[in-house]
Amino acid sequence: RMSRHAKKLRDHDINPCLAETDATTKCMDDNNYNKDMCTDYFLKYKNCRKFWHEIMMQRKRNGVKPEMPAAEERKKILESMG
């Protein structure tokens, strides 16, 4: 049984970096938890978190709710950026 926190992290509308999280975990599993083998995955995850944190802060400053765009809206934001 997953905790409420764990469920939130698995929710696409709450966690914008779910794919990066899963890819990093898979890399670690596949490489016997050797972090050096997964540097690219960690970097992608870090960049994802940084990007969506900026979006969230911008929305917060502008009074936009919800502060974290839902999965469908995030997809549109990314598509608009190319």
Domain boundaries, the chain: 4-80
Please give, one letter per residue, the 3-state secondary structure of 1-59: CCCHHHHHHCCCCCCCCHHHHHHHHHHHHHCCCCHHHHHHHHHHHHHHHHHHHHHHHHH
pTM of the model: 0.83
pLDDT given at position 34: 97
Q: For residue range 32-77, list pLDDT tens digits in order.
A: 999 999 999 999 999 999 999 999 999 999 999 999 999 999 999 9
Q: What is the mean pLDDT of residues 6-16?
A: 82
pLDDT tens profile 18-29: 999 999 999 999
